[in-house]
Amino acid sequence: MARAPEILPFGPNGLLIRFALQASPEANSAVRSFLDALHDVNIPGIVQKAGSLVSVYVEYVSTETTRDAVYSAVSELLATQDWLASEKPAPTRLWHIPVAFGGEMGPQLDETAELTGQSAEQAIKDLCEADVEVMTIGFSPGQPYVGLLPEHWNMPRQSEINPRVPAGALVAAVRQLVLFNEVSATGWRHIGQTAFRPFFNDRQTPILLKSGDAIKFHAVSASEMTTLLGNNPEGLGGARCEVLS
């Protein structure tokens, strides 16, 4: 296996720049810094760029450029610095999202807290005080992978699939949180409920979150969440976006 980062083929008109095979804060910072740099240099013929937890994907149009040309431009940019040592770019937006933790709205909170070696109250405090960001958007539209949580949240996915978590479910595994847009099956543990819909067709901006957005969770009661869920025409669920200078 070659040393990271690697430039790899991804479809006939794409390249994947992979910083690591396994998730790490360093790889995710590298992805985001490199994406920012790609936006700045503007390589001709590139029509799409996206970042995952560990990789950057670039797609080009073969009528405007060639694989070799894009490969050279990308490797030149890669060589300009040690991306795995780059500082995490500062977030420009902070989303405040209300969550009801535990009980029927987060039936696996207690077992999750136990796995992290603390009480449910401490776990909620952890989550609401965590300095977390959207690490990537993926799987389905607008769906955020949020992290990284402190090391004691490094629990594996459960071996049994949870057959059904509701839309807006907040689930946890491997130092990350995912906020489901639609009813889903998942191997992650269901710890809370939001009324926030990451993707909502009828909203002026259907997809709200972006990679790099900071997230702050605010604990609300089950009855407050029921009210938010009951009156939610825009799918915001009481969330608000603070623009950071």
Measure the CA–CA gap between 131 and 141, rounded to whole angstroms.
24
27 is an interface residue for other proteins by CB under 8 A: yes
- The stretch among 78-86, 109-117, 205-213, 226-234 that binds other proteins (CB under 8 A) is 205-213
Q: What is the rounded distance in angstroms from the CA atom of residue 38 to the CA atom of residue 59?
A: 12
Among 38, 54, 99, 170, binds other proteins (CB under 8 A): 54
Q: Determine the Cα–Cα distance for residues 165 and 157; give it in Å rounded to an integer.
A: 15
**How long is the chain?**
245
On the 0-12 / 13-18 / 19+ scale of CB atoms within 10 A, 90 is: exposed
Beta partners for 189? 172
Q: Does 63 bind other proteins (CB under 8 A)?
A: yes
Nearer to other proteins, 77 or 174 (CB): 174
Q: How far apart are CA 91 and CA 96, in angstroms?
A: 14
Residues 128-147 that bind other proteins (CB under 8 A): 136-143, 145
Residue 67 within binding range of other proteins, rule CB under 8 A: yes
Do residues 32 and 50 lie in contact, with contact meaning Cβ atoms separated by under 8 Å?
no
Tell me the CA distances in angstroms from 68 to 59, 64, 78, 165, 221, one per residue in order: 13, 12, 15, 45, 56
Site for other proteins in 71-130 (CB under 8 A): none
* CB nearer other proteins, residue 81 or residue 140: 140
| 70 vs 19: CA distance, rounded Å | 18
**Selected binder of other proteins within 36, 41, 44, 47 (CB under 8 A):** 47
Q: Residue 48 interacts with other proteins (CB under 8 A)?
A: yes
Binding mask 171-190 for other proteins (x = CB under 8 A): ----------xx--------
For other proteins (CB under 8 A), the number of binding residues is: 45
Which one of 29, 33, 55, 108 is in contact with other proteins (CB under 8 A)? Answer: 55
Q: Which residues bind other proteins (CB under 8 A)?
A: 1, 8-14, 16, 18, 20-23, 27, 47-55, 57, 59, 62-63, 67, 136-143, 145, 181-182, 199, 201, 206-207, 211
